[in-house]
Structure 1
């Protein structure tokens, strides 16, 4: 029997994640990327290590995101690019008041993991002297960044554009019907580096993917007329702490486990 042909959406990717990230972020041989967050996270692997190596740049690893550690490394290695979560961004902003390390080599600082408050976003560029580049992503694949020519009003309120022109996004209601332009709904994603299914999990895959291969991200978003994604919350009862997802039900079960709490 001849093998059954895959639908077009499940064929081999033509654009890999690291390639698309490197192109979207403008990486080249002059890039010196500092990783201060855990390297095992999807974001630091793609945006940090893999995209930097793909572009032929230099990777610098810091043992901590503490500004007393990170700032001297930026100055010594002439770091051009780095990433942070909102809590780290706030710490770095405050640290510029008492540390005088030379941060002038920084071009952008990418911020992701959780949504950056617009009021905090306004403080990044004046304090650190570099461009704010908001970002989004997930372990299942889809990720996005602002581009170098995105205006400030876009960079302060949105979390970026998908990195690959082959990424497909849909924003739908609870009945899987696409919402009106600019309205919030669940984000569905399909593309060359987004997973097609979880390993040996057919029942979960039936819930996590649509029939035509779109992944149900569980994120509530709205799309700006420019296509930029604005994250508004989660469909699932879930806590997002610096990019780590914590199921509320699991947390509640642990809290109720001791007999005195029953």
Structure 2
């Protein structure tokens, strides 16, 4: 397994095209693996290619990719990077790739980490009796957090999201939906970005659309977690969480906790 990091040059027209279309970015990411054909279908329980865009500032966008094979991102450097700088320095091709397995192997029960996840939180509803259930996006922060905080989902994923200590809760007696404490006040969990996306699927050779446009809501979560099942968490880190994984959702990444927070919760 490999974890790759690519900084996007947002001043380039090619970068703007990729950033405006998850479909185009997905195609560019998959083109980084010469042995993967466009028609390849992911095998259940097998590692898959996951990717995520992190926008830290208006002009600072970073693409993360987790894959079983080492990627070749040369085409991305040419379209959306700094090709002249990469040519001048052969030791720096324009992206960084590191083996992921050593980190995955070190995960242990009780470890605590900061995390980031961009996901597509959805649920199924039935508008009228007798109608089939329909997949619908969660639209409010309370329900979006509730999707990730679902105990069964956390158990399947191999972690639990940490709770805040009492002295860091702003609403010790505050309640919200159906009398439950607000999850953003109780848990080490926040929403950094929410986007509503709509884009066309890949077009046929004649220029016609293939099916209906794709619409989805993406949510970026930041928080802190504790490892409860290392094997399950390894699967989560390499296979992703939830739906829309082809469109930049599902990639969970971990980072060390800040020293001042390691003993809290």
Is the shorter-chain TM-score for this pair beyond 0.5, marking a shared fold? no
TM range (shorter): under 0.3
Higher strand fraction: Structure 1 or Structure 2?
A: 2
* TM, length-normalised to structure 1: 0.26
* TM, length-normalised to structure 2: 0.25
Query: Greater relative contact order (Cα 8 A, min sep 6): structure 1 or 2?
Result: 2
